[in-house]
Amino acid sequence: MPDSALIAAPPAVRVRGAHVRLGRATVFDDLAFSAEAGRFTGILGPSGVGKTTLLKLIAGLLPADGAFIGDERGNRLSGCIAWMAQKDLLLPWLTVAENVRLGARLRGEPGGRDKARALLAAVGLEGRADDRPDTLSGGQRQRVALARTLMEDRPVVLMDEPFSAVDPLTRIGLQDLAARMLAGRTVVFVTHDPLEALRLGHAVFVLSGAPATARPIPLPADAWPRAADAPGVLAAQAEILRALAS
């Protein structure tokens, strides 16, 4: 477990000089990417451009091959990272609460039951702790996945299309929940939804090209998390759609 000082002062994420070849594709050739400490950074881009690959690089799930991947002080990020995937990956034979404790279970760590229940209450699932995941809706399952991510209590959270499997209104609710529960951590999230990027991103990048590069999108100054109908959000959506098309 990272110490609480790291949660209080989370690291930035820096990627420098990343080269990745997968199959016949050169996904990155000298990619640079930064996510600021304690902020939400959104990544958009067409399918296959390398968004998941970038998250995997940051998480240390791909070889760095000479790239620097670490924080603003030159330290590695190992042990700092929690991952929330597009598919919620809840295990059907475990209860909701046991799924929240999955990381600890896999590490053979006892305890954490009270914390798991407190987190389930915090994401609005009090009373569902002993149910099986297949009795929950898609949005409720994503809440469990968020509680499980929070259970890991890491200063850096990587989210790969975390809310793509739910309807637009549920999605807005989950975005607000994520903003509330993950505020202050360094969050890098991938989304195909320009509105989601604009609601949650303190910074937003569009990945494009082959090999891909990351281009920052100018953002409206509205209060974070930005309202879907905030002034400036519509205009910024148009900017993102242009960047995605170019």
Residues that bind ligand ATP (CB under 6 A): 22-23, 25, 27, 45, 47-53
What minimum distance in Å lies between the beta carbon of 110 and Mg ion?
35
Concatenated DSSP letters for 68-133?
EEE-TTS---TTSEEEE-SS----TTS-HHHHHTHHHHHTT----HHHHHHHHHHTT-TT-TTS-G
Q: Output the six-digit token pair for 133.
A: 């995941």
> Please, are residues 40 and 187 in contact by the beta-carbon 8 Å criterion?
yes
Nearest C-alpha neighbor of 146 from the set 171, 167, 169, 168: 171
Instruction: Give the 3-state secondary structure of residue 37.
Output: coil
Nearest C-alpha neighbor of 186 from the set 35, 68, 56: 35
Partner whose binding site includes residue 243, from ligand ATP, Mg ion, none (CB under 5 to 8 Å by kind): none
What minimum distance in Å lies between the beta carbon of 69 and ligand ATP?
15
What minimum distance in Å lies between the beta carbon of 228 and Mg ion?
24
What minimum distance in Å lies between the beta carbon of 48 and ligand ATP?
4
What minimum distance in Å lies between the beta carbon of 180 and ligand ATP?
26
Which residue lies nearer to Mg ion by CB, 43 or 119?
A: 43
Which residue lies nearer to Mg ion by CB, 52 or 99?
A: 52
Partner whose binding site includes residue 175, from ligand ATP, Mg ion, none (CB under 5 to 8 Å by kind): none
Which residue lies nearer to ligand ATP by CB, 48 or 231?
A: 48
Does the footprint of Mg ion cover residue 175 (CB under 5 A)? no
Largest Cα–Cα separation, the chain: 51
Q: Output the six-digit token pair for 126.
A: 């009090």
Which class for 36: exposed (0-12), middle (13-18), buried (19 or more C-beta within 10 A)?
Answer: middle
Which residue lies nearer to Mg ion by CB, 1 or 61?
A: 61
Which residue lies nearer to Mg ion by CB, 54 or 181?
A: 54
Partner whose binding site includes residue 237, from ligand ATP, Mg ion, none (CB under 5 to 8 Å by kind): none
What minimum distance in Å lies between the beta carbon of 161 and Mg ion?
7
Residue 184 host element (H or E): none
Which residue lies nearer to ligand ATP by CB, 6 or 207?
A: 207
- Please report, as residue ranges, which positions from 39 to 68 form the binding site for Mg ion (by CB under 5 A): 51-52
Binding site for Mg ion (CB under 5 A): 51-52
